Amino acid sequence: MFKLDLQASEKLFVPFITAGDPLPEVSVELAKSLQKAGATALELGVAYSDPLADGPVIQRASKRALNNGMNIVKAIELGGEMKKNGVNIPIILFTYYNPVLQLNKEYFFALLRKNHIDGLLVPDLPLEESASLQAECKNHEVTYISLVAPTSESRLKTIIEQAEGFVYCVSSLGVTGVRNEFNSSVYPFIRTVKDLSAVPVAVGFGISNREQVMKMNEICDGVVVGSALVRKIEELKDRLISAETRDQALQEFEDYATAFGGLYSLK
């Protein structure tokens, strides 16, 4: 399990990538680039054929990864390869619940332990159905990351009381994706979550530029950046796949990520 002890001037930068996009070996290099760009932790997404919470950018990444033969077991093992190759920040497995159900629970948690996966986030598992999985996570020393969206304050309190690692605060209802602006109601919602939470609060779903990061910096502990980074990977994918142009493309990706992570580096 991991605990994020932030000093007053420190902020979270939690990037998301899809395991195996555009190639498994490139995912390892992308994780290393994100660590150098200032990532506090990494969300490693498991490709899924029916990603209900994801917009078109991450859906396309899932399709590319599935075409590369990725599944939940290979994604977990890829996390282990990242750890073997110098990634020392926490890795959080981001997966829908159905792939977990298809595995024996003991086998699933043994895989997480063997590959040094630090956390688990399951976006389609509601609070009422998560108690068993949260208990399993505690037993196996895996941090269960709670996702909160605008809802009643009593429900927020119930979710946040159980939170570990950090609270993932959803900035917008609907699917993931880059957004140019947020509804004004999101800011009081984030402040409410921040007031209720004893662990850091990171905002995700739609963070797409440095200005948004700076705005969120004023009211919470950091950001989760997914679609903007995955879109950049898609833009660079041909150069990332080619051994001849990979290093240059990785540097371009790292420079792009630093626009988000440079504000939030704990180093």
Q: How many Cβ atoms from other residues are within 10 Å of residue 88's Cβ?
A: 9
Residue type at 244?
A: E
Q: Using the 8-state DSSP alphabet, how is residue 25 labeled?
A: H
Q: Of 45, 36, 29, 46, which Cα lies nearest the Cα of 13? A: 36
Give 3-state DSSP helix, strand, coil % of the chain, rounded to 5.
Answer: 45, 15, 40
Q: How is 102-129 classified by DSSP, letter by letter?
A: TS-HHHHHHHHHHTT--EEE-TT--GGG
Instruction: Say which of 29, 54, 118, 254 is annotated catalytic.
Output: 54
Angle, in degrees to the nearest 10, between helices 246-261 and 210-217: 30
Q: C-alpha angle 254/5/146, rounded to 5°?
A: 80
> Token pair of 38, please?
């200032």
Q: Is the peptide bond before 123 cis (omega within 30 degrees of 0)?
A: no
**Would you state the structure tokens that stand for residue 264, as one six-digit string?**
């939030």
User: What is the C-alpha to C-alpha distance for residues 156 and 192, in angstroms, rounded to an integer?
Assistant: 9
The active-site residue, picked from 21, 43, 221, 254, is: 43
Let me know: does 188 contact 198? Beta carbons within 8 Å.
no
Question: Count of residues for the chain?
Answer: 267
153 is catalytic: no
54 is catalytic: yes
Contacts of 124 (CB under 8 A, 6+ apart): 52, 53, 96, 97
Query: Which residues are catalytic, by number?
Result: 43, 54
